[in-house]
Amino acid sequence: MKKANFENYHIRKWFSFTEETLANETGQLADGEPVYKYAIAAAIHNLYAGRFSEDLSELIEHSPDLGREFGRRIQELANGREIVSYGKSILVGMNCEYEHGNAFLTNPAADPIRVALGGGKSWVPSTGKRGVAGTIIDVPLAHKDALYVRSHYDSISLSFNDGPGNDELIIIWAFATRGRLHARLGGLKAEEIQGENGLI
């Protein structure tokens, strides 16, 4: 059994990524501030690797503590920049069930991250898949307070050179400081958010 080093989890490695986009694909300079995108991920040993269990509480029980650590790390990585969009994903090793990764994407794990960002009324878009080291995953992004803000539909593509291992889960959270550069497809604007229900 691998020794726990964070509550009852064995975390092998933390990852962090930063993107700063200054112009769009046709070379148009940013219409305002650049887009900063951040991602934080943890490679975690799966306590249920290779076996089926109806009860996944060993993964879920301390997931709020893990969420608080993700929240602390995004505050550190953003260095004072306001985060307005978020998303989450899982990469699940080949000796694991997809359901094992989803145990870390529930509200108990997500709510501490919302707190760290100063709130977030919208549900957090998510993706996930099983894979091996180097598998590419697209993490979706949407506005944290209103899902219908079309200009903030975005993504960040990530891969990890040495994970997930067969018995690992990689938990990923991504964040952005604004919507797409030169977004011009209409819909609800960020400045029009009512903040009543996480949709508008």
Q: Give pLDDT tens digits for 170-200.
A: 999 999 999 999 999 999 888 888 887 889 9
Residue among 74, 134, 130, 128 at smallest CA distance from 105: 128
Q: Is residue 87's pLDDT more than 90?
A: yes
Burial of 151 per CB tally in 10 Å (0-12, 13-18, 19+): buried
* Rounded Cα distance, 195 and 32, in Å: 24
| Cβ-contact 91, 157 below 8 angstroms | no
| Cβ-contact 163, 91 below 8 angstroms | yes
Residues pairing with 37 in the sheet? 19, 176
Q: How far is CA 54 from the centre of its chain?
A: 26
Instruction: Give every CB contact of residue 33 below 8 A, 6+ residues apart in sequence.
Output: 177, 178
**In terms of DSSP bridges, do strands 126-130 and 85-92 run parallel, antiparallel, or are they unpaired?**
parallel
Cα separations (Å) of 174 from 38, 52, 81, 82, 184? 6, 30, 14, 14, 23
Residues of the chain above pLDDT 90, percent: 92
pLDDT band at 107 (very low <50, low <70, confident <90, very high): confident
| Predicted TM-score of the model (pTM) | 0.95
- How would DSSP label each residue in 111-139? HHHHHHTT---SPPPEEEEE--TT--EEE
pLDDT for res 178: 98
What ranges do the domains of the chain cover? 11-192
* Rounded Cα distance, 82 and 127, in Å: 24
- Domain 11-192, what fold? 60s Ribosomal Protein L30; Chain: A; (3.30.1330)
**In terms of DSSP bridges, do strands 137-143 and 85-92 run parallel, antiparallel, or are they unpaired?**
antiparallel
DSSP secondary-structure letter at 2?
Answer: P
The arithmetic mean of pLDDT across residues 129-156, rounded, is 97
| Cis ω for the linkage preceding 164 (within 30 of 0) | yes
DSSP secondary-structure letter at 18?
Answer: E
* Rounded Cα distance, 142 and 136, in Å: 20
